[in-house]
Amino acid sequence: MTTYFIADLHLNEHQPGITDLFLQFMSEKAPLAEAVYILGDFFDFWIGDDENSPLIEQVKQAIQNVTQQGIPCYFICGNRDFLLGKRFAKETGLILLPDYHKIDLYGHSTLLCHGDTLCTDDVTYQRFRQKVHQKWRQTLFLLLPLRLRLHIAQKIRAKSRQDKRTKPAEIMDVNPQFTAQIAEQYQIEWLIHGHTHKQAVHSCQKFATSDRLFTRIVLGDWGKTASILAVDKQGFQFNLERE
C-alpha cells in the first residue's frame, strides 16, 4: 500500500493541463492508495468556500469520489488557499489538518507542513501571514460580498507577484536553523513540505552540534508534469525525475 503526497498544484482556470494531471492522479493512483495528503497551494487562490466554478466543481467531485471509496484525503492549507475551510471539507470528505501535523509513516516519525511557515527570513510575508490568519479578520473578510473579495484578491495577488520579483530568492526559501529547530521540537526523522517549488531530498542536521540528522523532502510544483511523492514500507520515491 502506498501513501501519496502532493502540493503546489496552484489549480486555476488558465492551466487546465494541471487540472487534468490532478484528475488523472485521482482516478488512477488515489483509489489504490492508503492515504492522500495535499500539502497546500492546491488552488492558486481561495477567497471562501462559497465560491463556485466548473473547475472547483470538477475538483470537488474528484476528491469526493476517492474519499467515498474509503481512502482518507488530508489537507494542510498553503499561503494561497488558507481560507479553504469546513464547508469544502464537508462537501468533499477532505480532512483538514493543522499547520504542522506529525504522523508515523511506515515506521518513520514524519512532520508535514506546507512550508511557508519555515521561510522565517521573509519577514514581510510572515507579517502578512500573521494578519490574515487572525480568526476575526477571516470572519470579516468572508462576510464581504464575493465580488468585493475577488477585487481585493486581485489586488493582493498583483502585489504578491511584484514582491516575488523584487525579493532576493534566498529569503523565500526555508530558514535552515528554524527548520532544524522544528525537527528537534517534534522529534522527527522526516519532514515533508512544499511551497518553495524546489523538489528535492535534503539530509539536514538537527543542530549544528549534534550528529542527529533528519531528511527534508520538498514536493515540487505542478506544471507540464506532476510532482507526486509515493511512500510505502520500502521507502519513498518521486514519480518523475525533473527535466
Ligand X SMILES: O=C(CCCCNC(=O)Nc1ccc(S(=O)(=O)N2CCN(c3cc(Cl)cc(C(F)(F)F)c3)CC2)cc1)NO
Residue 46's closest CA among 93, 87, 101, 2? 87
CB of 77 to ligand X, least distance (A): 10
CB of 61 to ligand X, least distance (A): 22
Q: Which CB sits closer to ligand X, 125 or 238?
A: 125
- Return all residues near 139 (Cβ < 8 A) that are at least 6 apart: none
41 binds, among Mn ion, ligand X, none (CB under 5 to 8 A by kind): Mn ion
**20 appears as a binding residue in the annotation:** no
Q: Which CB sits closer to ligand X, 135 or 209?
A: 135
CB of 158 to ligand X, least distance (A): 9
Q: Which CB sits closer to ligand X, 19 or 196?
A: 196
CB of 153 to ligand X, least distance (A): 3
153 binds, among ligand X, Mn ion, none (CB under 5 to 8 A by kind): ligand X
Cβ atoms of residues 229 and 204 within 8 Å: no
- Return all residues near 142 (Cβ < 8 A) that are at least 6 apart: 48, 50, 83, 149
Instruction: Please give the residue ranges that form the binding site for ligand X (CB under 6 A).
Output: 45-47, 79-80, 83, 116, 119, 122, 125, 132, 137-138, 141, 152-153, 156-157, 160, 172
- Return all residues near 127 (Cβ < 8 A) that are at least 6 apart: none
Query: Percentages helix, strand, coil for the chain, rounded to the nearest 5?
Result: 40, 20, 40
Q: Which CB sits closer to Mn ion, 42 or 88?
A: 42
CB of 3 to Mn ion, least distance (A): 21
| Helix (H/G/I), strand (E/B), else coil: 124 | helix
Q: Three cell numbers at 156?
A: 493582493
**101 appears as a binding residue in the annotation:** no
Q: Three cell numbers at 69?
A: 471509496
Q: Which CB sits closer to Mn ion, 65 or 160?
A: 160
**14 appears as a binding residue in the annotation:** no
Going 152 to 157 to 158 to 164, the CA torsion angle's sign is positive
Q: Which CB sits closer to Mn ion, 80 or 206?
A: 80
89 binds, among ligand X, Mn ion, none (CB under 5 to 8 A by kind): none
Q: How far is CA 114 from CA 40, 99, 144, in A?
A: 5, 7, 27
Instruction: Please give the residue ranges that form the binding site for Mn ion (CB under 5 A).
Output: 41, 78-79, 195
Looking at the DSSP bridge assignments, the partners of residue 33 are 2
Nearest-5° angle of CA 87, CA 91, CA 95? 75
Looking at the DSSP bridge assignments, the partners of residue 191 are 111, 216
201 binds, among Mn ion, ligand X, none (CB under 5 to 8 A by kind): none
CB of 10 to Mn ion, least distance (A): 8
Annotated binding site for Mn(2+): 8, 10, 41, 79, 114, 195, 197
